[in-house]
Amino acid sequence: MITGYSRGYPIVYLNGRWVYADNGIPIEQEERPCARCGKIPTKEGHDACLGTLPGVVSACCGHGVEEPYTVYEGEFH
């Protein structure tokens, strides 16, 4: 079984789609807040606790289960 996390909530890949492990609802059908700070993403899809970060192309707060990261413009080739 393939597993992962979505905003800090355990998810599993089941029958060709990612679903929440606790209720089987597809992750694109149920918007959940960050498991750590309790905030929903911004309208742009950014982690609410990070907001928009200048020069950053990707970032994640870690949601309490992973290490946070940022990827800046020009870091990958």
| Burial classification of residue 48, based on how many CB atoms lie within 10 Å of its CB (0-12 exposed, 13-18 middle, 19 or more buried) | middle
Domain residue spans of the chain:
1-32, 34-77
pLDDT for residue 3: 97
* Average pLDDT of the segment spanning 49-62: 91
**Could you count the other beta carbons within 10 Å of the beta carbon of residue 8?**
17
What radius of gyration, in Å, describes the C-alpha atoms of the chain? 14
Q: Which of 77, 74, 76 is nearest to 55 (CA)?
A: 74
Residue 51 token pair? 């907001």
Confidence band (pLDDT; 50, 70, 90) for 76?
low
Q: Which amino acid is at 20?
A: Y
pLDDT tens digits along 3-45: 999 999 999 999 999 999 999 999 999 989 999 999 999 888 8
pLDDT of residue 19: 98
